Structure 1
Amino acid sequence: MTDSDIHDTIRGLYEGIVDPQAWQRSLQNLRRASGSTQMGMVVLDKRSDRMSVIELANPVEGLAQAYQQTFQALDPGRSFTPRMPLGGWYIDARELGVGTLSRHPFYGDFLHRYGMGSVMACLVDRQPYYEVFFSLQRPLDGPLFAPEDARALDWAIPHIRQAMALRERTSALTALQRLSMQLLDQLAFGVIVFTADARVLLHNGEGEAWVRRLVPNPAAPRMGTGTGTGDEWTLSRPFAAMVRAACDASAPVPAQAAMAQSRQGARAQVVVLPLPPSHALGQAWQQPAALVAIHDARGSSPLLPQVLRDLYGLTPAEMRLATLLTTGIGLPEASEQLQIGRETSRTQLKSVFIKTGTNSQAQLSHLLTQLSATLKAPVAEPNGAS
């Protein structure tokens, strides 16, 4: 390989941390430079003692599948893996001898059938439960692998190992980010993070519609929410000023709140809290941000009755009354909606107070609101399944 080819391969390995095509391009460069037909990353799961091929460059049709399903048990190289150091090479002609290659069933019954004649592999990662090998296969009509072939690729091994470690860390961070967003989306109220100039850094599903409501785009057409309430909301105080006050690096306002109201009379509470420059999203900007939480006056979660039964042993009648009271109506109105007598509703409410440890409708409403905050209703799939 020329210096230019080497530099391009190294660059592709590190770009491959986030770009699979760049990673594959570098593997192809190494495959061609080594005179191999196929190259792959092979993982040994120490718990199951099974090998699996996770990536291939120029795959030979059927070879990897046949190896994983049938012929890995015949692989003579597996007996050498426990003694291999990190960065060490297994070279079949050196370890087994040329005569063994011609007689061993792993070659006669497997590799030769796929046109392969020689194998070389480097141990690039060793963990308590698995090991990863950088494996190359040469064609049957080509020369057998020799130590000088391994030495010609030694320069690439540290870069492969480092890029693999960085890819694994990046993958773990991506998985954590997805989990974090899933947790935020589970909240039954809107969450948005704004910069001082009202740019959105993140929001959960409930907060998505509120981005347009709190920072409307004058050029965008007015759109309804799909529930008939519309998206035209007014706040009791300027939202941009609240965000700037929360993002004041010298003296951020600890907490601010405003009442939001739609043209149809729907209401919501908007709370703005400061996030310091050390927040997780601050690295790229090194500036404060504002956390905005929006609580609207929707009904209780359909999952709340199940939680009330599990936590407090409420009966179905008590659960219906308790959840209805969270909407803000009084006991007489709840009695009428449930079509029960006033005395019956008072008896049920007294039982709910005793079971939940509350003493008033205000305390009960506060408790149920807290429980509902993380009980977002499951989203139905298009086919009707949840």
Structure 2
Amino acid sequence: MDADLKLIGTLFEELAEPDWASAFLTGVCEATQSPAGALLQVDVASRRQTLPAYVGQGREMAVAFERKHAEGNPWRPTDEASGPPAGSVVVPDDALPLSALRRTAFWSDFLRPMQIDHGCGLIGFRSPEKVVSLTLLRSARRGVYDAEERAWLGRLAPHWVNACRLRNRLVPNERNESDATRALDALSTAAFFFDERGRCARWNAAADSLLIEGDLVRLRGGHLVAAHPGSGALFASTGATTVLRRRDGSVGGHAAAHRLPGHGALGRARAVVFVDSLTAMRPPLLRQALTALHGLTPREAELAERLATGSDLAETAAAMGVSTEGARTRLKVVFGKAGARNQAALVALVRSLYAVLGQNTSDT
């Protein structure tokens, strides 16, 4: 009982902070032997799903979920507006058995690489605009969340609901933050946002592309670093421009750091670094072209783009969170759609398209 009271207390200690639910989430994961968990927020109108907090996995997992896998999440209700009310304990296995889950792309591409088979949700807030829930994840070895665990979560539910309601009143601009995220993702310039410790807390879609490329900047221990040792420090002087060099030493772009107020639509981010690549075409543009010209799905286009940048099939599969055999199966489909006889022909096709789009980009 004392442990439960202490756990509940963590909910109300830092309600106005960005990571207000992290300690509670960690405690619930430990108590239920769940190696991973997340705070899931859903925008009802757009059905956009975001993970403001998570444990057991890195930021890369959250980015992969939000940008690639959320849309195919079979654990979400078809009609979000009429889903379970706040305070409900939801176990997806009740409606979707493991055998059926394992036939979905969501499991094979996202859950399986993390060795996740079962989930459990605790709804904390529901309104016509958004839904907030706690999601717990674990493997088949640990099994489905049982009646005792559900009852324990049910006892926590009233406190979780109260905390979510208070949070919604204290931080009314979370919707603005979601709108800001969508606006930032539309930028062609990469933007990296940092907390007060100088750790990269979030980034936009263009920044995600630069990280995949890995030729200008990288994340190391949560810190943004230049790929080439001869590049200047990214935080050397706020407002000044830093020249970034590619790994071969050539000038590849510029970075500029700016201080932020630590409040408003961007939450408590304290600084932003904008990185502009001089020559690299954004992979999203290439993937859009592959989709438009050859009918590739977004995941198929990503597979083709990664192979064209020099990654082998095993590396590509690992980066995409799928098995090598699964990637090989997808690749055969890509061959047929693109009219390529083999991987070499596909790479040549993608690189030629890359060159054409790069030329067009520089001409505009």
Question: TM-score, structure 2 length as denominator?
Answer: 0.43
Larger Rg computed on CA atoms:
1
Question: TM-score, structure 1 length as denominator?
Answer: 0.41
